[in-house]
Amino acid sequence: MAKALAEAGAHVVLSGRSSDMLQQAVASITGEGGKASAAAFDVADLDAGREAIAKLHADHGRLDILINNVGARDRRPFAAFSDAEILNLIQTDLLSAIALSRKAADIMKAQGRGRLISVTSIIGNMARSGDAIYPVAKQGLTGLVRSLAAEYGPFGVTSNAIAPGMFATETNAEISANPDMNAFMRQRVPLQRWGRPDEIAGAALFLASDAGSFVNGHVLTVDGGMSIQM
């Protein structure tokens, strides 16, 4: 998504916990003529996130687009979680987006324009045994997206979500290489293949651009048709 936005002319600020990985990503974008910089922080640290948004605004003078894209996941039986483990997942996947969006929305409101985009998941509307906490957080994120759309829409700020299905990424490389998961994917996804990262990028570009200026409070599903299957 960052690469696609940079190619479209945006100055992108990448965030994450690893400074080394962020600098590699920045170098990849700038090496192709794009504008990029990095802000290293842990999204679970809500104060650090708010400080990063404030610094970004101070450095660049404006903030046009915020993309909340976090997906901490722990596939275990519901009863196996401690309260602290549940709170950590909720803080990472949901509360971080609340904190960042509140800070960004205030800036965008003053500007009279902005795009809030959150990456949720089709699992927010589904349920699978042994994967209880992630859907809770993602469904909460959908509620946040719609609440922001209603509250900040009058000020020229749109809020939308992208709900991906099964995508082959670096994060889930082990899962996408698993023969059983590939068989499951072919059974459930009408297109019978994993999604590619660039196919999420197209959705982000649409929602961030003038082409999506009248789209607000919407969840754009990008799953190859998986969620329509019985």
The CATH number corresponding to 64-228 among 3.40.50.300, 3.30.930.10, 3.40.50.720, 3.60.15.10 equals 3.40.50.720
The pair of structure tokens assigned to 140 is 């909460």
What residue type is 3 in one-letter code? K
- CA 228/CA 230 separation, integer angstroms: 7
pLDDT (tens digit per residue) in 17-53: 999 999 999 999 999 999 999 999 999 999 999 999 9
The CA R_g of the chain, rounded to the nearest whole Å, is: 18
**Residue 104: predicted pLDDT:** 98
**Residue 47: predicted pLDDT:** 96
- CA 162/CA 63 separation, integer angstroms: 20
- CA 202/CA 210 separation, integer angstroms: 14
The pair of structure tokens assigned to 2 is 């960052």
Question: Mean pLDDT for the chain?
Answer: 94
Please name which of 178, 149, 153, 181 lies closest in space to residue 165, comparing C-alpha atoms: 181
**Residue 71: predicted pLDDT:** 82
pLDDT (tens digit per residue) in 132-175: 899 999 999 999 999 999 999 999 999 999 999 989 887 778 88
CA pseudo-torsion sign 37, 40, 41, 43? positive
CA of residue 221 relative to chain centroid, distance? 13
pLDDT (tens digit per residue) in 57-76: 999 999 999 999 998 888 89
- CA 222/CA 210 separation, integer angstroms: 20
- CA 227/CA 230 separation, integer angstroms: 8
Tell me the pLDDT band of 230, cut-offs 50, 70 and 90: low
Percent of all residues in the chain with a pLDDT value above 70, rounded to a whole number: 100
Please name which of 77, 36, 42 lies closest in space to residue 60, comparing C-alpha atoms: 36
Known active-site residue 134: yes
Q: Which residues of 145-160 are buried (b: 16+ CB within 10 A; e: fewer)?
A: bbebbeebeeeebbbb
**Res 176 pLDDT > 90:** no
Q: Which of 134, 149, 201, 212 is catalytic?
A: 134
DSSP 8-state assignment for residue 59: H
**Residue 173: predicted pLDDT:** 80
Locate the DSSP E strands across 165-213.
Answer: none
